[in-house]
Amino acid sequence: MLEPRAIRTGGYGGPSVRLAKGLYFRVGGFKAESHEEVRNIDQGTLTLTDKRIVFSGNKRTISVNLNKIISINSYSDSISIRREGMSKTQYFVGLPKAEIIITVKDRIYNEQFSGLILMYLIEGLAGKTETD
């Protein structure tokens, strides 16, 4: 699981004059910059049920109700999820290199598992109602 994190960098510029032991006078300024980077937060297992997505990691467990998902984006080996009540996008990467077999009536499809297929599964489950 990856999430965006604010990264702050900076440093002091200018001379420093020693006035006494342990006492310094600094002339100059401090310049800081901040930017966002997507960082690896945890590793674990992503499970999809008919009601939620559950990430069980080494450091944390996250449960996302499907009806709380605002948007999903798919990538070749990952998905990103934005959900209600959370300002940061969460990225779930490293989907297994596996083949999925889909049967529709008499037709059988063998497809490489991808973020796009996972996104379709989530969207299909999220669209279900209590009467389905």
Q: Which of 37, 48, 41 is nearest to 8 (CA)?
A: 37
pLDDT (0 to 100) of residue 80: 94
pLDDT (0 to 100) of residue 128: 62
Cα–Cα distance for residue pair 26/28, rounded to 1 Å: 6
Residues of the chain with pLDDT under 50: 129-132
| pTM summary value | 0.68
pLDDT (0 to 100) of residue 56: 93
Fold of 39-126: PH-domain like (2.30.29)
Sorted by where each begins, the domain ranges of the chain are 2-37, 39-126
Residues 88-119: tens digit of each pLDDT: 999 999 887 778 888 889 999 888 888 888 89
